[in-house]
Structure 1
Amino acid sequence: NGGTRVMRNLAQQIYGSQLTEYSKKQTQKQKNGYSSRLGWVFVSKDFTKETTKAVRTYGSLFNVSKDYTYFTPNTFYRNDLRRLSTLRWVNAMSIDIDAKNGENEGMTLPDVQESITQAGLPMPSLIVQTPSKGFHVHWFLEQPKRASDKLNAHYSRIQTCMAEMIHGDVHAVGPERLFRLPTDENTVFHSQNRVSFDTLCEWFQLVQEQNQVVVHTYKKGFCKGYENLLKHPAVLKILEGVNKGQRDMACYTLALAYKAAGYDEKQAEQYLHNWNQKNTPQMRQIEVKRKVKSAYNGRFHAPSAKKIRELSGMLFSYVIWEEAKPREERTYSHIEEWEGDVLAFIRAQGGQVSGSQRDISDQITSSVDAEKKIPYATFKKVIARLEEQEILLKKVSGKGRGASTELTIIDEVKARRTQSEASKKENDHTSKINGFNSNTIKDTVVGGTALPLSTGSSLVLPQETLSPVVVPTYSTLSKPAPIPGNVPSAFVSALYNRSFLDGRFIFRAWGKIQLAFKAFGITYRSIAATDDYLRLAVDAVVVTVEKKGSMIAGDFQGDECFLKYLFGTMKGLFANYRSDQIRTFVEEIEGLGDIILSHVGMKLEEELKDARVVDRELVETKLAEIEREQSARQRRKHYHNHSAFELHSSLNQFKLFMKRDD
């Protein structure tokens, strides 16, 4: 059986000594006791409790693998309850990339691999393709981690971040979840690579630092780029010389540092011979030569941050800065560049093209290599993205092979902007953050590449402009700046489609939105990551345009007037939004039973403990409303009991009175 064969290869790699080969007899258990290292693996046919089974031996796991569909990479100390609270060992970090309901349509294994590379993540251990054409991606840990409340919470935070970075399901998180059992048929990638949990923690920390939208003020120990490696205090500490037991690793690490900094092999060897004189005792010269040769001929391009920390005893972390390869040298082109080519082709046909999708895709070639055609899967993905951005309208008539598709550009402003950005990416070879140990460009801000910031936090505006330029909105400047990439695209579109084309004006407008949200305790990242908040920001633009005019209508009343009104409007809209949230919440809890109401209160208290809570004031208000509701119910119960007691007493007095009369 394919599932059994693959499971035999993978089970030992995942579980190690957490499972036994065969069941222990009762006499063995009585003699040796129950092992606190063993764990239960859950398997299931369809996620329901009735079809879920727990196994604790490799024999049982292999036997059931042909009849079951899902398994837990992590193990539990109970065989009757698969819950976070019963987790014993964390063995793997696993991500579900869903392809249902139009999400990630047309995604292929190379797409998954590129997204992992772009995110700066290490190579996974296993990738399984699901029947819906999604993927389950697993990173097996070098050493299993004992589950705890603290570790489980951090695991979920890292897992959520990883899912966001590689287009995974951010709702399918938690170390207790089930994933599809690997078989010969569905295993599309398998390696012996393993990753330490500390490495994933470091990656998560670096991503958090990169996602700051202000000028980066990195934590102590951060090294920005290869060129600064040899100047960093941690590396300088190693260059002062090391003791016996550290020399080999220090020499190899420093050789990689010289390699990354641009020194050739001979230069590095000469510097390290000089460094060796500071060691106690010195290494043999032949050993120095071997370490340098190994570093320069090996697959590593830069030293390990972990090794630098261990050797120096100091804080150290860094991200790699490299140029992206020119498009013609890449085996997989960025989808944004294909978007520009697709739009150029449709525009050349008069803004509309029809025929079978495969025939249309066969006619589209790369703008930098006429011999290179767009892959059909990429073409479908591009069309879906352009539809989602409301740049392109797709109409399909007929079914099957006889179907005909009509593609029409419906928003020329957005289309030209998309094409301009794609063209800019092809021609721009400046260095950008690549993430952790990555060789592919990664955008570090919401919506694209941010406007670069100089040391003094003043805005440095690129010289390029978008084409065509219609009417500049910024009254004091004759030439509009490019659209800022660190502003969410929905907000940019709301202004851009009303002929607010200047990047500086859009940047200032978004600043007013941020200030309005800040008045309610909402952070920038929460605005960009919350659909309702972005919708409110767009609504604020619409209301402000109605009152203060726009360039396209010719009734624009000026920058300051517009921005001031936008700020006030945003505050008013959000205040109303929050009031509606509270009113709806109050109506909902009034219909809840006492036990469920108490449970909701506990969930809100847990939410407040999370540093990432989006609207802390709203959660606190909801908690206060629950306390009011609980107090009101207590008063009603007390009043009801008191009234019933008084009524009972009155009846007794009346009976006594009647008896006396008799």
Structure 2
Amino acid sequence: MNLAGIAVNIYRDQLTNKKKKQPEKQQTGYNNRLGWVFVSKDFTKETTKAVRTYGSLFNVSKDYTYFTPNTFYRNDLRRLSTLRWINTMSIDIDAKNGENKGITLPDVQELITAAGLPMPSLIVQTPSKGFHIHWFLEQPKRASDKLNAHYSRIQTCIAEMIHGDVHAVGPERLFRLPTDENTVFHSQNRVSFDTLCEWFQLVQEQDQQDVHTYKKGFYKGYESLLQHPAVQKILEGVHEGQRDTACYTLALAYKAAGYDEKTAEAYLHNWNQKNTPQMRQMEVKRKVKSAYRGRFHAPSAKKIRELSGMLFSYVIWEEAKPREERTYSHIQEWEGDVLAFIRAQGGQVSGSQRDISDQITSSVDAEKKIPYATFKKVIARLEEQEILSKRVSGKGRGASTELRIINEVKARRTQSEASKKEQDTGSKNNGLNSNTIKDTVVGGTALPLSAGSRLALPKETLTPVILPTSSTLSKPAPIPGNVPSAFVSALYNRGFIDGRFIFRAWGKILLAFKTFGITYHSIAATGDYTRLSVDAVAVTVEKKGSLIAGDFQGEERFLKYLFGTMKGLFANYRSDQIKQFVEEIEGLGGITLSHVGMELEDELKAARVVDRELLETKLAEIEREQSARQRSKHYHNYSAFDLNASLNQFKLFMKTDD
């Protein structure tokens, strides 16, 4: 995995896929989750630049060498005081000036495990043959003076333990940008900040006792687990209140080390004689049976630390095996299989969740079914990513779940990434799918297709069939990258997979908007406009058919009806906007009304206006409202004047009569 995948793992939602435009900022407001990443050429201020989007980060990575894995809330000052999010624990192992001369990656791995630290997420080698080591946090931590200080204390301690640079500490520091060439180790492992705090506390306690032998670890495998000083301490016997946990933990240790159940039980009966008081023999037998027949394959490092009171951790430094060689598949790979199954059923499936999961098998091993627990996790992830919709009807055993693909573009990208992961078996770097970062927005790539390629049908489809449009070419063209993903999905889910047809359909949408003075860029910046285009597709399909339903009436009829439908929907949309605006201004005071008019005039002066005709109509409505109020005021004043005059005349008449 190179910079693209690594960046997403570090920053997640702290960077955006594209720069926010002014209308979006007005709609969504201030986002306090975003942060600035600083990049630099040589640690000098003159060559430092701040970026806030993934696209900007990738563009500048060609010219810049260093980056900040943690993010800031200001783009002009890289200081502790401007830090917003802490994402990683990072250490610099320097190899300059004779320090750590000849250090290798296995040496670094040995130092990490000997220190009792968890497996890192990323190791980058520097040109001087040093290393930058990063542990990605499970959840980013909001920076504060107190947290920053504790972070630096833990960072200094880790640096001391693994021969790092104790002077290169602080969450605001720069580190070398990862590339395919300098990334020497990468894993999916993440660590919680609490775990690092616990590690730091144990180190402090043991340093006070001056017991450094307890810091020894191992990395070659489970076979040396029982020889670790922390495990040996537990084997010396434990007190009441620890016996059950200790017995189960030791049984897992014997299991991981390769001992059979009977041998482990015999050893633990001998161990039980050292406990104060002893456990019942039946309890020992029960714990061993539970450990060997349960789902855990090795003991918990945390339990060993708690029982022994010593620093303990074990890391198995091995690369991920190909999927067909693993007993457990990554959840991302199962996502691809679930989507392929649903697509093979026409994009929608219903029934009990267990029945559905029982029908889904691995794409590399047809005899392997998805575990039910994994299936539920996959559905939750796909639902969260807005790729899949889930609707449950009924309760209990009679409940039925409907699963439907609602974003075909994202679904295809997810499958593509899973497929690429399966194929990538020869390298520790997983490679990069060009769409790992880029979301499917206007101007981006709609699907992971290169020029001249076409979409592959699901592996479950026995006979590959390309649904035809009126194109005279035998193969469908790639999906155009400048068409919004929601619009692409609306057509693709109904069988329109040819990029030429999708491009022509989008052209009709643009033409319909153009008749109202709406430009292409304005459509891209307004979510309501894209949603209207999707609605236009739904209405057109209902009247003119679709390929997937088999009632398609022809390309020209479809596109002509789509154009008229889009015009009608937008005319109604604009009419509703004006009606709502009129209702709003009728309740405004005179000063507020004038202020709204001035704001509209300022918007019209801008270089790029989303809907100029709408703004002009709103201004005209304000002028009508102001004119109506002036006439009403004038009439009221005139009526009051006439009434006063009549009263005066009446009084004069009465006096004359007297």
TM-score by length of 2: 0.45
Instruction: Give the structure with higher Rg (CA).
Output: 2
TM-score by length of 1: 0.45
